[in-house]
Structure 1
Amino acid sequence: MDADQLLNGMDADQRTAVTCPETATVLHAGAGSGKTRVLTHRIAYRIAKGTADPQRVLAITFTREAASEMRRRLKTLGVSRDSQSVTVGTFHAIALALLRQRLADTHKPMPSIIHNRSQLIAQAAQDHPMSSRSRELLVEVDWAHARMISPANYAQTAKRLGRYTAAPHNEIATIFKQYEQLKIQRNTLDLDDLIARVVEAMRTDNAYAQAVRWRYRHIFVDEAQDMNPLQYELFEAIRGQRADVFIVGDPMQAIYGWNGSDKRLFDELPDKIRGTTVLRLPNNYRCTPQILNAATTVAKLVDPQIDVRAIKPSAEPVVMRGFADAEAEAQGVVDCLWQFANTGGTNPWQSSAVLVRTNIQVELIVDALIKNNIQVRTTRPSKELNSAIADAAQSTNRNELATWVTDMKTESSSEIQRWVAEQVEIFLKLDHPGSVDGRTFTSWMRATSAEHRATEGVEVLTFHSAKGREWQCVVVAGAEVGLMPHSSAITQDQQDEEIRLAYVALTRASQQLFVTWCETRKGRTAGRSELLAEIVNPTLDKPTSKLVAKPRPIKTTSLTLEDELRTWRNKRAKIIKQPVTSIIYDEDLREIAKQLPKTTAQLAEIVGVITAQKIGPDVLSIVAQAESRLATQNLK
């Protein structure tokens, strides 16, 4: 692509960042500022101008998803993915590649990488009460690795920094030491060891260090505010004394201090790299002025000078609602989502998310959404839902399943159990090969539920998991004392990070933002978070009238046409052993259920000629049968 074409559609600040001189540059890129576009266009621009050799470009990201997205965008911009192209990867992936090459060059075997760290840390803990809490132990190990803290220094450092742990620091240190010893005994490495090994090799072998630096002469780093000291050491080892670095970050989105990150590493880059130019992207293209004003009001509690500007026109005010308890709040979240859905829009559930501070809050909200016929996309089904499915799974034949449905619909007061009963009814109406019993229903439920979770519905996830994402409508739930900021935040650094985390959550919304809280939660007094006290001109209320839920699709029997098409698609995908989207996309499936095509030509207008020829006979037959059943029902 022509270099000048890469600048099309960019504002002045973005153009400046893409075209700046090939010297050390730190770019402060706020939420919704288009930073990924700027970063990828900067790489492509340098290559197009001939100031960067693609084989010598190293682009570092923090997640595999981000690395994949960067590769995709670079390919779209004409930067190929062959062996002559740029290197894009996470710190761990880059360290792994370097270490493998290093050991191959020195004719040494590569240690194995630990695949089950939970098992290893449990073995290190042995009879300690924490042995069953491997996740919490690994959080501490990862934090220590990130901060380059040895087992011998862990207890003292954790105490000094106010590190909260479920067991005494000295006991954690003992388990940590045993974990490290087990790795040595088994000649295994974890991911952080990869980085440490490469850093050590470059520190002790100058020829090796120079070879790595010769290979990677142009360095780009994304989300640099999340760097931890160990990652920073790798960055510095590869950089050497060179100034050809382009580093992107947003200090206001530094939310991983609990995991070892240190935003000061980003803040101090201009002091550590001589001649660094600092640029900024102040324009926010995601949020409405009302949403951005609310978010920056919170952000100013830690950065009074924050400068971000909403480009979108004025829109709906931020809605803030308090509720008596967690159950009432969950129903309030439902009302908020229906309020957004009733404003129009084609896929309101897919455009919406509920964000919470902790995973503990997820289950109650997911249950409330399911009870109110709101599609949910989550990989964390609730305990009540799992229990109901397990109960149905006990049925040994079709008749027992049908009896279970009757019992649930007539005797159960649980909306979740009644919803599962409806799913069993749908299952029983389908033409299943082989035996039909509780186990086959469970398999069908898992398959269809997994597909729905992967592609449709409201997402319910934590503030941390939402970073880097956006939705038209966001409900920030649990914005209350004890959760926002979280009660575990004791030190000033921890409290500041909680404020930044709230800012991240609030800036995920592009069109409509709801904020909810409880007056009491699990018997303790809560109330609206003090972080929200200064937000100007929100709509502060409770729903005054019952919101009208959008009707569900008209059913041809007790099964919607869309359900039938989806079931057919799932069966076909299993037969040909391909993903369901290789057969037909969800949006096309919904359009078929809406338009009811009668000919292959009409179907082709929705899915294209080739796809219509492949799926036409099956799909048109399903549509025709559905219309016939509907006509029969109307005559009765």
Structure 2
Amino acid sequence: MPTQPHGAPVHTTADDILDALDPEQREVAAHPLGPMVVLAGAGTGKTRAITHRIAYGVHSGAYQGQRVLAVTFTARAAGEMRTRLRTLGVAGVQARTFHAAALRQLHYFWPQAIGGAAPEVMSQKAAAVAQAAASLRLDLARDRTAIRDLAAEVEWAKVSMLTPETYAAGARAARREPPGLDATAMARVLEAYEQVKTQRGVIDFEDVLLLTVGILAERDDIARAVRSQYRHFVVDEYQDVNALQQRLLDLWVGERDDLCVVGDPAQTIYSFTGASPRHLLEFQTRHPKAAVVRLVRNYRSTPQVVGLANLVVRGPSGAMRSNAVTLQAQGQDGPPPVLSAHPDDPAEAAAVAGEIAQRVASGVSPAEIAVLFRTNGQSEAFEAALADAGVPYLVRGGERFFSRREVRDAILLLRGAARSDDGAKALPDLVRDVLLGAGWTREAPSSGGAGRERWESLSALAALSDDLVATTSAARLPDFLRELDERAAAQHAPAVQGVTLASLHAAKGLEWDVVFLTGVSDGFLPIMMAETPEAIEEERRLMYVGVTRARRELRLSWAGARTPGARASRRPSRFLDGAASILGEGARSQPKGSSKVGSKGRRGKALKPTLPAHCRSCGAELTTAAQRKTGRCDDCPPTYSEATFERLRTWRLAVARDSSVPAYVVFTDATLTAIAEREPSSEAELAQISGVGARKLGLYGAQVLALISGEDVESVLEKRSPATDSDD
């Protein structure tokens, strides 16, 4: 089966559904009852397999569509699942995100369980977190980065089902340092945040899950009602489930075992949010009778891209990691992946934009091209380069499609036209006539910028009407508006023409014909703050996700320095070491036979500084890691210069903002305090402070010493060395 067709006609029999699948996908679909775990490699058709499983279950009479709840992690994925099920002739299946399914149940059962109407859900928690911090006299009101970091930590605590009372122990067990605070202070922030929400009479998105779990756990009658409605469950992207979502799923399923989970351990990239692959990897332990199916046939990418992906996920040892599957390419040959080196970041961005402009000029659709990078801060250079090249682009994660003014205005005009739709004109023609009144033109504008973006948005609506008629030939304008309303509610945006700029995290689940994977140097991939073996492996999986987004052509690039004329201190990503056979010797992070020595001693083995055991002020025994790091017990006052500490803190915030990372990943508060306390005068002395490893010493050592000597922050930032900028 060399290809996987799209837009297949509506199937009417169970046999037709199975006939459309490869042997492994057929194994998934042909057994719609009982527990099953599907280990699905990238591009192996997992969505196809599970939607056909549901369709086969309905068409074979194994169950009714209304009894199925299919859960995934993004509104886009849920919308795609609904569209595919409709194409397969299946109606009534609830395909939703965890939050959407829980919110629906919460609104329905709240009057019965609590009384009255369910509280409003906050769209974002930054303002409430800032108010909580202010109530504790934490001076963070103007520090947006710090507030964002605190909000992320609040989310992690809640999805990990930690309370203010249990947070400190949970954070220690997870080896997690709260952003800029110690665990006790963070627990106080959590408590204050909950009080702020209570005062406002609102809940957050994590509360939606927590409250639903609470109601189902405490009210057997409500739990029975949910389980009588939904008897069969499918969970996509199961490697991303967190503890709270797993608890909710357990309550939904109850004592039954009609549960099919699908995931790929090699695409676990959200552990920082509380996601854990152990639920996927331990599924058989919890369900001993579960069938196990591995999807290994990759239909998305060329053999050349698949070959590189397998090498990246294996690494130089050649051993497959994390129970990942070895992909088997099913598509036709394509061009080999290419790795290019550039002197600096602007040169890399200009080269990428130039190559994209050539492809667009030769007829490649901009919508089939993506530029991927590790951090959002890398986007700006590519935005400027593409604008200079006259290439339309969109930044994934920017303004939501249905929130754009031109889209809202066009939908308003379509609602007015729906009242007089007499069926005399084909739906796509009628939609285009209405869009002409909204400022759309049949020909694309020659210019770029905002005008081109508006045109692309309206063109996406026109194309969506074509798609609806292709699946429902009798559809009229009211049907089209219902489709738009459903998509808007689920934030299932249509494809918009333009080169996609996206971080690797945002790119997961998407694919393009041509992918430019940029910034593939140590410090970006893996990111500089990834220091533990577990964190490094997650970064490897992140690169694997990036590689497997490409259908036909993959171009990798890196730059030796950040700015023109700076010393080239970067090296290619270590994750490419095992791919030198494909990409050439220039892919190696270190030349053959070389090893790094110095502060790390033998390569890869850092020399840990010796931490003091007693307070240098009073001699009391130091009992916590934070106390030992600063060399001072909690009862003794700080002995550092406040001016020095403030310079260090201001510098850290600027570096964190520039790198698009939380401030604590540059240096934690405890490390920053220890530096201010000891005032090291040399790199050797600085290296003896816990939290200043060899990598951070190389990146920040000269700057920290300059700040301690009294140099102002602005001048230090202006003359940062290339080594510092290499690992944003």
TM-score, length basis structure 2: 0.62
Correspondence for 1:287:
301
Q: Is 1:333 aligned to 2:352, yes or no?
A: yes
Correspondence for 2:385:
368
> Residue by residue, what CA displacement relative to the aligned partner does 1:509-540 show, whole Å, maximum 9, x if unpaired?
01110111112236683210010011154355
Is the contact between residue 130 and residue 167 of structure 1 (CA under 8 Å) also seen in structure 2? no
CA distance in 1, matches of 2:356, 2:287: 48
> Residue by residue, what CA displacement relative to the aligned partner does 1:595-623 show, whole Å, maximum 9, x if unpaired?
xxxxxxxxxxxxxxxxxxxxxxxxxxxxx
CA distance in 2, matches of 1:186, 1:356: 39
Is the contact between residue 387 and residue 449 of structure 2 (CA under 8 Å) also seen in structure 1? no
Correspondence for 1:357:
374
Is the contact between residue 392 and residue 449 of structure 2 (CA under 8 Å) also seen in structure 1? no
Which of 212, 226, 236 is the aligned partner of 2:240? 226
Is the contact between residue 32 and residue 53 of structure 2 (CA under 8 Å) also seen in structure 1? no
TM-score, length basis structure 1: 0.71
By how many angstroms is 1:188 displaced?
1.9
Distance change (3 Å), C-alpha of 1:197 and 1:476? same
CA distance in 2, matches of 1:363, 1:537: 33
Correspondence for 1:322:
341
CA distance in 1, matches of 2:158, 2:54: 31
CA distance in 1, matches of 2:538, 2:392: 32
Q: Is 1:209 aligned to 2:226, yes or no?
A: no
Which of 486, 491, 502 is the aligned partner of 2:543? 502
Correspondence for 2:46:
35
Which amino acid in 2 is paired with 1:191?
Answer: F
Which amino acid in 1 is paired with 2:524?
Answer: L
Which of 176, 180, 197 is the aligned partner of 1:167? 180
Q: Is 1:468 aligned to 2:501, yes or no?
A: no
Which amino acid in 2 is paired with 1:275?
Answer: K
CA distance in 2, matches of 1:379, 1:35: 23
Q: Is 1:130 aligned to 2:133, yes or no?
A: no
Correspondence for 1:421:
none
Which amino acid in 2 is paired with 1:480?
Answer: S
Distance change (3 Å), C-alpha of 1:540 and 1:351? farther
Distance change (3 Å), C-alpha of 1:232 and 1:479? same
Which 5+ residue runs of structure 2 have no aligned equivalent?
1-11, 399-438, 440-447, 461-494, 587-728
Which of 57, 69, 72 is the aligned partner of 2:80? 69
Which of 561, 577, 584 is the aligned partner of 1:533? 577
CA distance in 2, matches of 1:205, 1:48: 34
CA distance in 2, matches of 1:449, 1:36: 28
Distance change (3 Å), C-alpha of 1:165 and 1:370? farther
Match runs of 1:217-616 below 5 Å: 217-301=231-315, 303-304=320-321, 306-338=325-357, 340-341=359-360, 344=362, 346-378=363-395, 447=454, 455-521=496-562, 525-540=569-584
> Residue by residue, what CA displacement relative to the aligned partner does 1:372-397 show, whole Å, maximum 9, x if unpaired?
2222223689xxxxxxxxxxxxxxxx
The RMSD of aligned alpha carbons is 2.7
Is the contact between residue 365 and residue 497 of structure 2 (CA under 8 Å) also seen in structure 1? no
CA distance in 1, matches of 2:562, 2:300: 33
Secondary structure at 1:455 match in 2: coil
Correspondence for 1:18:
29
Q: Is 1:101 aligned to 2:142, yes or no?
A: no
Distance change (3 Å), C-alpha of 1:164 and 1:478? farther
Distance change (3 Å), C-alpha of 1:442 and 1:2? closer
Secondary structure at 1:533 match in 2: helix
Which amino acid in 1 is paired with 2:99?
Answer: H
Is the contact between residue 25 and residue 277 of structure 1 (CA under 8 Å) also seen in structure 2? yes
By how many angstroms is 1:452 displaced?
8.7
Correspondence for 1:52:
63
Which amino acid in 1 is paired with 2:196?
Answer: L
By how many angstroms is 1:352 displaced?
0.8
> Residue by residue, what CA displacement relative to the aligned partner does 1:336-361 show, whole Å, maximum 9, x if unpaired?
4356557x5x3342211110000000
Q: Percent identity between the aligned chains?
A: 35
Secondary structure at 1:286 match in 2: coil
Distance change (3 Å), C-alpha of 1:446 and 1:320? closer
Which amino acid in 2 is paired with 1:192?
Answer: E
By how many angstroms is 1:449 displaced?
8.0
Distance change (3 Å), C-alpha of 1:23 and 1:501? same
CA distance in 2, matches of 1:370, 1:443: 11
CA distance in 2, matches of 1:337, 1:300: 30
Which 5+ residue runs of structure 1 have no aligned equivalent?
382-431, 433-440, 543-636
Distance change (3 Å), C-alpha of 1:450 and 1:540? farther
By how many angstroms is 1:319 displaced?
0.2
By how many angstroms is 1:243 displaced?
1.2
CA distance in 2, matches of 1:458, 1:376: 4
> Residue by residue, what CA displacement relative to the aligned partner does 1:259-291 show, whole Å, maximum 9, x if unpaired?
110111111111012311111111000111111
Correspondence for 1:574:
none
CA distance in 1, matches of 2:178, 2:452: 39
CA distance in 2, matches of 1:445, 1:38: 38
